[in-house]
Amino acid sequence: MNVLAYARDALSTGPLCDACLGRPIGDRSFGLGNAERGRALRTTVALEDDEPYEPGEAGECWVCAGVCDSFDTWADRVAEALAGDEFDTYQVGTRVPALLEENERLLREDAGLDAEAGEPLKREVNREVGKRVGARVEADVDFERPDVQVTLDLDTETVDVQINSAFVYGRYRKLERDIPQTEWPCKECNETGVIDGEPCPGCDGTGYRYDESVEELTAPVVRESMDGAEAVFHGAGREDVDALMLGTGRPFVIEVKEPRTRDVDVESLEREINDFADGKAEVEGLRVATHDMVERVKEHDASKTYRMTVAFTEPVGNETLSDALEELEGETIEQRTPNRVAHRRGDIVRTREVYETSGELDDDEASGELEDTTDGERDGTLGDSDDAARATIDIHGEGGLYVKELVSGDEGRTEPSLAGLLGVDAEVTALDVLAVEGEEEPFADETYFRDDGEE
């Protein structure tokens, strides 16, 4: 390309600002801005032709119609639109009217250039306005996932602001039974709380099957602390409604949509959540995280350790129980979708491994009265102190292992099972989750967290 020949052809098309004159050769001479390129071309042509120098005027430019003279004005508008929002990173985008895009195409065509030569007006506006915005709001540009996304509409002369979500990671313990992880809408009334003009019997007219959830005990506090529009709870799997979540807790992320505050004191937030949950749940290890943590938590295929109270229909000896548990340890279990979830999950056969097992008979049962733990009808006194009809069992298994069915056999849908090995019907009457862990701790990677509001 002969840049002077291009400059003469471009200048002959009509009044051009320096930026529009320089932009079609924006891929030449790294380190210059388009306005500097255009000014240099205009100066060189004037010198070579020995003609008076005539500066370009953006307001008269037939290509951008003054846009390139308004970068500071747009930056002021953006700064005003972002006032009151707390953020560390931003990105500027631009909607360019079809007329201006057509003008750019015509300029290159008339000057004998390829239609894609240089850079488009959109990219220049993004860059020039973007760097001015950064100086005004003292934030950094992030082209991947900024805290705020600003879009300039050159046609309507408006600024659209999208505030991206903020995220808080931690682990929770659920300390009371019959509390689901997230809100549980009632399907009988489609969350309306009413059937045929009467309160829904399935939810007592509330629209939800349970009065509280871990989400409701934690997320509102985080939403309020970040002054957000909404908070969404994301857990690394979930325990049964009637199970406790103890020990090391379960990883979770709370996503706060449209937060006006991001820099939160996580230690104070942790105390506020635990006070709000009032002993029903508690959290620990809170940290401000990045959006990537949501997917990481959801995809976390952790192994889990369970503690179960198991009731047998007949007394079981210590040695018999130990032998059966030992036989399960290290086994690969085949599990057809359990009867209790078959209505909402596909009927397939899964294989899961049992890593470790341990258990002991209930001392109270071995030495005295047999409490009703199964059908509400059986009681009595055991004659053999080495036998009992109830035990406490710990099982560490692969993620996705149905431990209740591992104990009961689920009418032959799980093989092998504790009940099958014992030859005695068995049922889990209480279930606690003690640990949710991976082969390696997947949440220790610092790239998934923000420290003091910064990556």
Q: Looking at the annotation, which residues are catalytic? A: 240
Cα dist. 93→121, 124, 136 in Å? 11, 10, 17
Please state the length of the chain. 455
Strands 140-141 and 89-95: parallel
| Residue written as token pair 């325990």 | 239
**Burial group, residue 98, by CB count within 10 angstroms (0-12, 13-18, 19+):** exposed
CA angle, 46 then 41 then 35, to 5°:
125
**Residue 449 and residue 289 in contact, taking contact as beta carbons nearer than 8 Å:** yes
**Residue 92 and residue 122 in contact, taking contact as beta carbons nearer than 8 Å:** no
Cα dist. 16→12, 59, 94, 103, 104 in Å? 9, 9, 21, 11, 11
DSSP string, 233-245: EEESS---TTEEE
Amino acid making up residue 211: D
Cα dist. 33→15, 27, 92, 292 in Å? 19, 10, 18, 35
